[in-house]
Structure 1
Amino acid sequence: MAPVWDVTVFTKNRDRLLGTEVASKFFAAVLADPEVKPLLPSAYFSVAGTLIEAWASMKSFRPKDGSGEALGPGRNGERDFHAEKRSDETHASTTDPDARLARKSNGQASKLCYAGHVVIENRHGLAVAATTTQETGIAERDAGEAMMAGLDRAARSTLGGYKTYDTRAFVRAMGDMGVTPHVTQHANGRRSAIDGRTTRHLGYAVSQRIRKRVEEVFGRRKEIRACAAPCCAGWSGSDGASRSASPPKPPSGCRSCWRRLPDWRRQQASTR
């Protein structure tokens, strides 16, 4: 009988797995699989981005000059943010300096986040490219350009996306690559970067309907993994910058799963 797998094998090698980019290599191996590869050649794609909550609380978002109110007494002291103006230019997280302040839409709370990006091919809904970046406000468009530039695709392709991608710079960049941007028109108080020459075709309507499949990639991750936040701090950019020092991590590898464990199981895992 084979021995039972010990969770500490992963716990002790977590940083090594992150540093060697095992996930990206595994993803590339799946795409190269003989059973998967015939499904991938396509001229029709969709792109989307999502916010990934950083492993840092808003209490750690402190002024860079060292000023600001100190935390209250206790292990989880209170801090008053009332009337305090905070931005990435003046503040940074002491726990995860690479995280950036972002929100999904107007009226929602801002959180320390990263940005995740995915490109799928429309015929089968399979993810063909994925990356993670810092949230800069234009990260979705920059990542979309980079992922499309690295894809093995037809000479003439289409790319569906929501209105965030409706900018002149992005539309021009896609045109230079031979990609027709089937993005949602952002005409609320501004002029869309695409016009009737694109929207009049049936293919545009089809792309707009199918592009919503890309959201299923993010939904499956949050449902199957049962978490919307990473279990590590920091970000390793394309320039090879090193990761930030990670905070203490629960041995289970997932913060949400860790919270659902009974107290006796948490204590048992922590003492291994």
Structure 2
Amino acid sequence: MRGDDVRTGELFSYVDLEDRVRRGHPLRAIRLIVNEALGSLEGAFAALYSPIGRPSIAPEKLLRAMLLQAFYSIRSERLLMERLEYDLLFRWFVGIGIDDAAWNHSVFSKNRDRLLEGDIAAKFLSAILAQTKVKALLSTDHFSVDGTLIEAWASMKSIKPKDGPKDGSGEPAAAGGGRNAEADFHGDRRSNKTHASTTDPEARLYKKGKGKEAKLCFMGHGLMENRHGLLVDACLTQADGHAERVAALHMIEPRADRPHAITLGADKAYDTEDFVNELRSMKVTPHVTQNANGRRSAIDGRTTRHRGYVVSLRIRKRIEEAFGWIKTIAGQDKTKFRGRDRVGWAFTLTAAAYNLVRLPKLLAVST
């Protein structure tokens, strides 16, 4: 049963949380945007819960708490609940009263997992962008795309041969010597075709470039509008050499259905003939950096001769600011979740959190 998103006031206490948060605090403007977005998701929340049974933690409170976890770089649910126990600002933002007990961290995690079923993170991001005051800030013609590696919550020692010995559950049998046994990987060739992680089988071995070490990773993707550098879409895939281009086409396609052409900026990893031709077939002008690494670029003079091409190449680098915040401040450099769905959910929510951090100043300037 879904819990109520109601905060008790001064019923049993002389302390009113509303008076303890200064009027100009940045979280006040953020909370207004968040509450409007959550209000539009009422139907999505109702579909996730049974009308009978014990009340759960309200999904609105769950999402507000998870946003605080991203804003303040809190690395675990246990520490988040500890902070919620004594921090009046956190209690005010989440919506729990001064006399209410903070939740148990395991109860919080169990309730949070229910939100995975309704793809709430993506709907929450869309609900923020759909608000009239936010929508006025967004460009509908010029976009940039990029991808970034998200390290999996799995050790390299968890990688075992797929055709190796199995245990009673059908999983690859663990080697002797305990959970963290000594291992010598020198000369041991491993690839995604022959090996897989027993901790997170959906993670893939991937390296950034020649001479770099391979890690168990996922790949996060973002689509940015070029006017103010806000993320308008985010998704996560398994890490491979084609994932960036496939995800880019998936994210730009819904925005390509318009009478005039739009532009998509990207780095040289997207400079392939099939990707560029696919964009042009969708009436999307490919503002892709030319890859002059010993091969012919798919970008020619019909694109590079325009002044807008140079502008797109300059602006597209701003998407790295979003990835930098998501990975360092919001803690997604190495995920704390396992499985593509759970890691992708967290990545999309932190993309929404990045927008929320930037929106108050942008809205203040535009009014």
Check whether the contact 1:41–1:153 (CA below 8 A) recurs between aligned residues.
Answer: no
- Distance in 2 separating the partners of 1:12 and 1:188: 49
Instruction: Indicate the residue corresponding to 2:213 in structure 1.
Output: 109
Q: CA deviation at 1:183?
A: 0.6
Backbone CA RMSD of aligned residues: 2.1
Aligned to 1:262: none
SS at match of 2:186: coil
Whole-angstrom CA distance in 1 between matches of 2:242 and 2:173 = 32
Give 1:211's match in structure 2, choosing from 316, 324, 333.
Answer: 316
Which AA in structure 1 matches 2:203?
A: A
Aligned pair partner of 1:186 in 261, 267, 291: 291
Question: Contact conserved, 1:161 with 1:184, CA < 8 A, in 2?
Answer: yes
* Matches of 1:235 and 1:69, distance apart in 2: 23
More helix by percentage: 2
**What's the secondary structure of 1:119's corresponding residue?**
strand
Q: Paired residue for 1:25, among 123, 134, 137?
A: 123
- Counterpart in the other structure of 1:118: 222
Name the counterpart of 1:199: 304
Structure 1 length as normaliser, TM-score?
0.82
Opposite residue 216 of structure 2, the aligned amino acid is L
Question: Match of 1:49, SS?
Answer: strand
* 17 and 230 in structure 1: CA distance in 2 versus 1, 3 angstrom threshold: farther
Alignment equivalent of 1:220, drawn from 319, 325, 341: 325
CA positional deviation for 1:48: 0.3
Q: Is the 8 A contact 1:119 1:147 kept in 2?
A: yes
Which AA in structure 2 matches 1:109? E
Relative to structure 1, the CA distance from residue 27 to residue 70 in structure 2 (aligned partners, 3 Å threshold; closer, same or farther) is: closer
Tell whether 2:138 aligns with 1:40. Answer: yes
Structure holding more strand per residue: 1
| Equivalent position of 1:138 in the other structure | 242
Give me the whole-angstrom Cα distance separating, in 2, the residues matched to 1:197 and 1:50.
29
User: For 2:255 and 2:232, how far apart are their aligned partners in 1?
Assistant: 8
SS in 1 for 2:303: helix
| Cα distance in 2, alignment partners of residues 125 and 225 from structure 1 | 18
User: How far has the Cα of 1:227 moved from its partner?
Assistant: 3.9
The aligned residue for residue 233 of structure 1 is 338
Structure 1 runs of 4+ with >6 Å offset: none
Amino acid at match of 2:151: E
Q: TM-score, normalised by structure 2?
A: 0.61
- Which protein shows a greater Rg? 2
CA distance in 1, matches of 2:236, 2:332: 16
1:146: Cα distance to partner?
A: 0.5
- TM-aligned CA distance change 1:85 to 1:129, over 3 Å: same
Contact 2:223 2:251 in 1 (8 A): yes
**Separation (CA, whole Å) in 2 of partners of 1:45 and 1:113:** 26
Question: What residue is the counterpart of 1:174 in the other structure?
Answer: 279
5+ residue gaps, structure 1, are 237-242, 245-272
| Cα displacement string for residues 153-177 of structure 1 (whole angstroms, at most 9, x for unaligned residues) | 7531111100110001100110011
Name stretches of at least 5 consecutive residues in structure 2 with no aligned partner: 1-12, 14-96, 166-171, 344-367
User: Which amino acid in 1 is paired with 2:306?
Assistant: H
The aligned residue for residue 5 of structure 1 is 102
